[in-house]
Amino acid sequence: MTRTKNSIDLSLPKECRLRKSAEFQRVYDLKQRASDEHLLLFVARNSLGITRRGISVSKKHGNAVRRNRIKRLLREAFRLSRHQLPTGLDLVLIPRVGSGAGLEEYRQSLLKLVNRIARRLNKQQRLGK
């Protein structure tokens, strides 16, 4: 497949994933979070120049089939929105129990929350915290 200059890369390379529990723990430990009715989002800066995501779906969401469906929806929401997100962030996405969100709700939530917390991180950086 050939790409034109204006086309957007919608692939999801391996480098865009948080894989190790230490990577997840680093994001949790920084305690930068935002939430709405569909998602709880933890964010940390990284020095890689790419935005990576990790997904955590608890057993409160139901059996493995339901949890895997939620993970697929969150992966797809991230894949479709990746080009609109600020770079250099590590994200941990945690869906809210009982929200009943679909792909579009997760996508809108992700964009809204990442932009909100990115503004907060930029403000803290300017203030020297």
CATH classification at residue 92: 3.30.230.10
Query: Residue 40's pLDDT is what?
Result: 95
Structural domain includes residue 9:
no
Structural domain includes residue 32:
yes
pTM: 0.86
Q: What mean pLDDT is predicted for residues 63-92?
A: 93
Structural domain includes residue 70:
yes
- What is the rounded CA–CA span in Å between residue 124 and residue 32? 11
Q: Nearest to residue 46, comparing CAs of 72, 18, 10, 21? A: 18
- What is the rounded CA–CA span in Å between residue 76 and residue 98? 20
Structural domain includes residue 7:
no
pLDDT band at 7 (very low <50, low <70, confident <90, very high): low
- Which amino acid would we find at residue 103? L
Structural domain includes residue 119:
yes
Residues spanned by the domain of 96: 17-127
Domain total of the chain: 1
* 88 close to 48: Cβ distance less than 8 angstroms: yes
Task: Look at residue 5 and tell me whether its pLDDT is greater than 70.
Answer: no
